Structures are given as C-alpha cells and as structure tokens.
Structure 1
C-alpha cells in the first residue's frame, strides 16, 4: 500500500473521529444547557446538571447530578436531587421543532419538603412552574413517550408544632405519551405535568407521615 493511500485513509479516519467527537459533545451540550436554562427559568431557582452522556447514534444515555435548588429562605440547599437517570431520545428531533424522548427512567430521587407557615418550598416552585408554562411557553414542542420514577424518598422538615423531620417513601410515578395527542405541547407544559406529579406524590407522602397539625398544614396544598 502506497504512502499516499495510507495518508489518505489516515486522514479519513481522523476526520471521522473528529466528526464523532464534535457530534457527541454537541448532543451532550444541547441537552445539558437545555435542562439547565429551561429548568432554571421554570422553577425560579437554579437547576444544574453535572454531566450528560448520550450516544449520538442510539440516543441512549445518562444524566448525572441533577439538582433543583430551594427558593430563598429555606434551610435545605436543594428541593430535589437525582444522582443519575437514564434517557433515550430521538437525536434528530433535537434539531427540529418537536423533541421526542422515548424513555426516561428515574431511580431513587431525593425530594426535600420544607413546611413553613404558611409557605411550602415545593408549592412555591410549582406555582412558578405553572405561571411559566402558561405565560412564557416556548415555540419548541416536547413529547415524552414513557416516564417512570421508582424508589423515591421525601424528607420532611417542618416548624409546625415544633421542629420535626421524617423520611418517607414516594409512590411510583409512571406517565405515558406526555405531550402527545391533540395540539402540540410546549416544552414547559410537558415538564409541568411531570413536576406536578412528583410534587403531588411527595406532599401526599409527607402529609401521611406527620402529626395531625402537620397533615393539616400540608393537606391545604393538596386540595
């Protein structure tokens, strides 16, 4: 094999390798920046992700270090922490006007419920999400075909009737075809549906764990 052919093949392989690295970094960067920017705008607090690793070919990967900070004046740093969760999406849809996510599987998330009379950290975040999803929805649409959250826990912190803390399990949450059917759903509206399910189950678990006065305080947010 001549040197020219060897150099040519080497050049092609180098170009393919560079192209693969650029595409991989691009997909990971798009997903990470999208989660952080949209999430922070919707919650009114900082939403951060440590690392995103998604295959540019299969669309499968992992999102690590997902955290939602608490609103101001609450003791705990975060309202929600997820060490890792898996995701499978349609890569081409990232560059279209409708993002299609085939599957999201969340395992062992940690939710922190802080009850201060009359405020509740999760309801403050949820109120901000609801106002954003209705008033400032983006033109980008989102479909999530399957979402499941298992083995979640909620830590309850409250000053009602004296400081008290408890840890309770959150019921499994499974949702299908979010954002599909009828009119196209903006990204914010689809995220709101998932957030609403997580907040609702977390508050219900917290209410069931507490003393009567704690149950009454949190129950107000569930009605």
Structure 2
C-alpha cells in the first residue's frame, strides 16, 4: 500500500512539474493566443499579434505589433495598430486571481479612421461590434460564460503615447494625419478584476472615443454635412429642371391639340 501511495505521489509531482515546465516554456505562445482569441471575440474582427515576450521571474513583458482589422466594407486593412506594448507584472498576484498588472505602456499606437463611399465610419462600426459582443457575453448561461471569460485581471495604470490618427474620407477624397493625444487610464478591472474581453472593450472604446474627438475637431463632420447638403440641393435642382421640362412639353402638346382642333373647325 505504501508503495502504491508513494507511486501516486511521484506521479502527481511529475504531472505538476511537467505542467509548470509547459507553462513557463510556452507562456509567450499562450499569452499571444489569448490576446488573439479574446480580442477577436470582443471586436468581431481579426486581432493579430506578431510576438509576445514574457519574463515572469522578472515581472516584465512586452507585446509587439498588435493589429485590429477593419470591419468589412472598408479599404484600409486595419482600424488600430499598436507598436510596442510594455508591461510590469505584480509577481505577488500570480498565485491566484485576479492577476495584477502594475503598468502598461503602449508606444506609437495608430488609429486608422475611414469613411467609405456609403458614408459609414469604420470606428463607429467597430464600436457597435464591441457593444454587440458584450451583450452576447451577458446573454450566455453561467457555465458558458465561465468557460468563455477566462482569468480575471486588474491593470493599475495604462498609457497610450506618441500615437497618430490617419483619416481617409472617401466622399471628400481627402486624407488627414492627426496627432493622437496621450491617454491615461487607471484601475481597470476595479477591485475584483475583469476578463480579457471586458478589458479589451473598455480600452478600445476609450481609444476610439479619443480619436473621434480629435477627428471632430478637424471639422470632417461639418465637411460631410456640407457635401450632403450640396448633393441634396443638386438633386432638387435636377427635379425642378425635369418638372419645368415636363411642364413645357405638356404646354407644347396642349398647343398642338388646340391648333389641330382649330383647323378641324375651320
């Protein structure tokens, strides 16, 4: 019996050791896969990461070249790109949830704003996707929700810096290059933590709202309204011309009929 118990203990130790070895040797790939999975679920577009580097023993990590693809119907390949994202991990929190990330710094983020020929804005469509994915997550049953959510996280401080906004407005045939103001966010996830999908939605919504604010300052909305007003006026002018032409043709036909009647009565 003692031999059996000892054998079981040895097997458990081997299993735990193997599990830890797999975790530490594949942590970069695991984090990369989680970002792409939960990010794509939140945005309902393809989220891709070039590579991830995590030094768990040092509490240090970095994510390189993260991109959020545009929704369908737009020319630009991406709506958002993040150059290098550095982070500091609270090593005391890695034993249990919520896991704490002390700081995240996103360098050289790029926001690509586009209004297509149908006058749809990609950032507005992306924001609608974020809202829809949140509603879908809330509608799931308890077990489904638990399976889909993943670990809970807290981010103490997050900074976007040195960012740019590239705007492509097809109806105006214009391109713009704007500065993205620095964004500072604190205590994401609250005291209980939030899932990766929840954090993704909150962070991207703040980023999109900041970009939209800068775009409105540029007066793009006003230019589009002016363009639409001019288009409506042209349509009304064409309608008036067609009506005048139709009225003129009717008068000609009436005159012909009157002349014909006169000739018949003579």
Q: CA deviation at 1:98?
A: 2.5
Question: TM-score, normalised on structure 1?
Answer: 0.78
1:110 match: 110
User: How many angstroms apart in 1 are the aligned matches of 2:95 and 2:37?
Assistant: 17
3-state DSSP class of the match of 2:57? coil
What are the Cα deviations for residues 83-137 of structure 1, in whole angstroms up to 9, with x where unaligned? 2110122467567443322111011111100123442111211111122224316
- Please provide the CA RMSD for this pair: 2.7
What are the Cα deviations for residues 16-44 of structure 1, in whole angstroms up to 9, with x where unaligned? xx999755432212211110000011111
3-state DSSP class of the match of 2:76? coil
User: How many angstroms apart in 2 are the aligned matches of 1:95 and 1:215?
Assistant: 55
Question: TM-score, normalised on structure 2?
Answer: 0.66
What are the Cα deviations for residues 2-22 of structure 1, in whole angstroms up to 9, with x where unaligned? xxxxxxxxxxxxxxxx99975
User: How many angstroms apart in 2 are the aligned matches of 1:91 and 1:112?
Assistant: 36
Q: CA deviation at 1:204?
A: 1.2
Matching of residues 190-209 of structure 1 within 5 Å: 190-209=199-218
Q: CA deviation at 1:82?
A: 1.6
1:12 match: none
Give ranges in structure 1 of 5+ residues lacking alignment. 1-17, 218-223
1:129 match: 130
Contact 1:23 1:56 in 2 (8 A): no
3-state DSSP class of the match of 2:56? coil
Q: CA deviation at 1:150?
A: 0.9
1:11 match: none
Change (3 A) 1:100 1:191: same
User: How many angstroms apart in 1 are the aligned matches of 2:59 and 2:225?
Assistant: 43
How many residues are aligned here?
A: 198
3-state DSSP class of the match of 2:134? helix
What are the Cα deviations for residues 127-149 of structure 1, in whole angstroms up to 9, with x where unaligned? 11122224316253221111000
2:177 match: 167
Q: Deviation above 6 Å: which 4+ runs of structure 1? A: 18-21
Structure 2 residue 66 is matched with structure 1 residue 43: no
- Bigger radius of gyration among the two: 2
Give ranges in structure 2 of 5+ residues lacking alignment. 1-17, 138-144, 228-266
Change (3 A) 1:203 1:30: same
Contact 1:113 1:156 in 2 (8 A): yes
More helix by share: 2
What are the Cα deviations for residues 48-76 of structure 1, in whole angstroms up to 9, with x where unaligned? 10110110202212111111111111010
